[in-house]
A = this chain, B = another copy of it.
């Protein structure tokens, strides 16, 4: 009986080509979306290269700046997030860096990083109403009250720690100044007011969080839902790496990691150097 082909003769026939429009490779030549990689190097920022890969074109200057701000916004959030604890718990076992990063990425679940995509969907539902003639406030009320009536949290709002998320505020301010905001950001802001009235007193607001800001901006610049979530993954991978590396550098192997016992001993608060302002 040996050797003989294994597998389906029917599928074996399907030797047809499949297509990819991302990168063309030939000996000594690498074209990403048509641009020579060695021409991109030194000419574009990493944020631009990421946008080019995902969207197919280099971004105009305003979008380039907001994409970079999004990528910087989520680069780390200390030792508390479950994904970071995952990376540290893998690192403490002596596993390689790649394993810690991969495991950390798996810790971006529906409740952690998943708000970007969920919020984009809610915004799209509301904007479907707006485009059909419903005023913004009414559309916001429909989606907010509808979500709350199902006993669910409205994605893109609230944070277990921050009552006013500094990253969200900065992103929304930049999107205003760079004139990239549109109907998604507008609806998100109306939803914030509706949600404030619906649930809480003024002393206890449910503000837009960083995921909500990223979702609305990504919607306004025309990115696919999945890419909103993708920007969060890309942004946080360096944070996972920094924590996995620090874990092995500073702590003993196989320790029991209690997130509540972490004490910060890095540099005190400092301002950016003059040239950076």
Residues of A within 8 A of B (CB): 1-8, 10-12, 14-47, 49-50, 53-54, 56, 58, 65, 68-69, 71-73, 75-80, 82-83, 85-86, 89-103, 105-114, 160-167, 169-171, 174, 224, 226-227, 229-230, 233-235, 237-239, 241-243, 245-246, 250-251, 253-273, 276-277
Contacts and interface: CB of A to CB of B under 8 A. Distances in A.
Contact of A21 (B31, B37, B162, B246): B246
Contacts of A32: 75-76
Nearest to A276: B43
Given A101-B105, A245-B226, A266-B24, A72 B41 contact: yes
Contacts of A82: 89-90, 92-93, 254, 257
A245 B224 contact: yes
A204 B119 CA distance: 44
Contacts of A77: 23, 25, 30
Nearest to A85: B89
A266 B22 contact: yes
Contacts of A71: 46, 49
Contact of A166 (B36, B80, B109, B273): B36
Contacts of A15: 258, 260-261
Contacts of A160: 8, 11, 254
Contacts of A256: 11, 14, 80, 259-260
B264 A3 contact: yes
Given A2-B266, A241-B54, A110 B97 contact: no
B93 A99 contact: no
Given A45-B46, A46-B68, A6 B101 contact: no
B53 A2 contact: no
A227 B246 contact: no
B276 A20 contact: no
Contacts of A253: 111
Contact of A265 (B8, B19, B264): B19
Given A46-B72, A256-B14, A261-B15, A114 B89 contact: no
A270 B169 contact: no
A251 B18 contact: yes
Contacts of A8: 25-27, 80, 160-161
A165 B16 CA distance: 28
A243 B85 CA distance: 16
A254 B112 CA distance: 8
B23 A76 contact: yes
A256 to B, nearest CB: 5
